[in-house]
Amino acid sequence: MGRQYKEGVIHFAPNIGKDSPAELFNRAFDTLTMFRENGAKDGTVIRAFGAVWEQPLSSIMPAPSVLRRLEQAKTEAGRREPPAKQGKKEPER
């Protein structure tokens, strides 16, 4: 009896190995991004991608909510003004 894949399987054919041309790898990664954006879950099994035969989607890319939080943190960090330089105080006269 085969394994149960409750959150589905995305199987790449041909295999997208670690030695695949960059263009092929990038297109496969874009495909995974599309699946992620359209509801693929963390536990969705990704087969024949990278150096590992089977791996969960979460090991390749974080969930959209994590990506949004990271992007938000970057944006907020960019809005912060650098701290004022502490110069020498002049003596009171």
Distance CA 35, CA 64 (A): 11
Segment (H or E) for 46: strand 45-49
pLDDT mean across residues, the chain: 84
pTM passes above 0.75: no
At position 80, the amino acid (one-letter code) is R
pLDDT single digits (tens) 22-42: 999 999 999 999 999 899 999
Region 57-68 average pLDDT: 80
Q: Where along the chain do its domains lie?
A: 9-78
Region 1-19 average pLDDT: 87
Q: Cis omega before residue 91 (within 30°)?
A: no
Give the strand pairing for 9-16 and 45-49: parallel
At position 58, the amino acid (one-letter code) is S
Six token digits for residue 14: 């041909």
